[in-house]
Structure 1
Amino acid sequence: MSAPQGAPPVEAEALPFFVYGTLRSGGRNHAFHLAGRCADIRPAVLEGAALHAGPGFPYAVVDPTPGRRIVGELVTVRPGAYAGALVALDRLEECRADGTGLYVRRRMAVRAATGELRDAWVYVAGPEAEARLRARPALIVSGDWAER
C-alpha cells in the first residue's frame, strides 16, 4: 500500500534514517530518541538538498543547485526497536500522514562515507516551512548543522 507523495507510509519499510540536526550523535534529541536503539551510525551526505536554519531547528529542502548537500549521519535502528523509533521520530518531527506536518518523511538516496548510495528516511521541511524558506532562505552554506 503506498501513501501520497511525502506522507508517511501506513507501514514504513525499515530503512535507516538520515539525521542532520539534533538527532545526530551527541545531539539532545539523539540522546532522547535514538540512544540505545542504534545498530549502526556512520557519516553520510544527502546530495541535492540544502540545509536551512529555521527558528531553532534545521530544515532540509530539496535543492538541485549543483554542490548543494547536507552533512549528517546514516542511523540504522535495531530491528526490535524500529517500530518505536519510527513512531517517536514521526512525533518529534510533527510528521503527519496527510503530508501537512512541520516535517515530511521521504525516502531518499543518501551517500554513506564509503561512497555507497543507500535509501533512507529523511525528514524534510513540510509544505509551510518549505514555502517560508524558499521565500526567505536561511541557508547554512556548509550544509552542516554542527558548523552553524
Structure 2
Amino acid sequence: MTLPFFVYGTLRPGEPNHDLFLRGRTRSEEPGRLTDAVLYDGPGYPYAVEEPGGVVSGELVAALPEAYPELLAELDRLEEYVPGDPRSLYERVDRNVVRGDGTTVRAWVYVAAPHVAALLRARGTRIAGGDWLNRVH
C-alpha cells in the first residue's frame, strides 16, 4: 500500500533527519494533524501514543513514486520498526490525518509500540500541545 507519511518529530522540515532522509525525495509536504494521539519526549525524539482526544501536529509527506520503496525501508530502519518483532520501538500504522483544509487522508504513522507506549504513559514526559517544534528544550 503506497501511502504518504505523517511525520511529527526529527523528520519535520528544519529538523536533522528531514535533510538526511526526505530532501529531494518528496512530491509534496504540507501541515497536518493526527487526532486521537498525544506526544511524549523520547528524549531526543518524540513518540506518538494513541489516546482519544489528543492531537499531534506534523507534516504530511508524499514521496516521489520512484523513491517510495527505498524511503519506506529507510524510515522503517530509522524508526527501529520490524514487522512482528516485539523489540520494535515503533509500529507503522495507517491512520487518518487531517490536512490544513480539514479534509482527511490515510497516511503511514510511526506510533510507539505497545510496550513503549505503556512505559511512556506510566512515567514519560508528555509534550504539551502535541507539537515537537514547540517543546521546551
Query: TM-score, normalised on structure 1?
Result: 0.88
Pick aligned residue for 2:106 from 119, 130, 146: 119
What SS does the aligned partner of 1:63 have? strand
Q: Are residues 1:104 and 2:91 paired?
A: yes
Give 2:133's aligned residue.
Answer: 146
Q: Which runs of 5+ in 1 are unaligned?
A: 1-12
Q: Are residues 1:77 and 2:66 paired?
A: no
After superposition, residues 41-56 of structure 1 pair within 5 angstroms as 41-56=29-44
Identity in percent? 48
Q: Are residues 1:88 and 2:85 paired?
A: no
Counterpart amino acid of residue 28 in structure 1: P
Give 2:8's aligned residue.
Answer: 20
Find the aligned partners of 1:120 and 1:88 in 2 and give their Cα distance.
17
Find the aligned partners of 2:85 and 2:128 in 1 and give their Cα distance.
27
Aligned residues: 134
> How much does 1:138 deviate?
1.3
The structure that is strand-richer by fraction is: 2
Find the aligned partners of 1:141 and 1:81 in 2 and give their Cα distance.
34
Query: TM-score, normalised on structure 2?
Result: 0.94
RMSD of aligned residue pairs (Cα, Å): 0.9
Stretches of 4+ aligned residues off by more than 2 angstroms = none
Q: Are residues 1:133 and 2:83 paired?
A: no
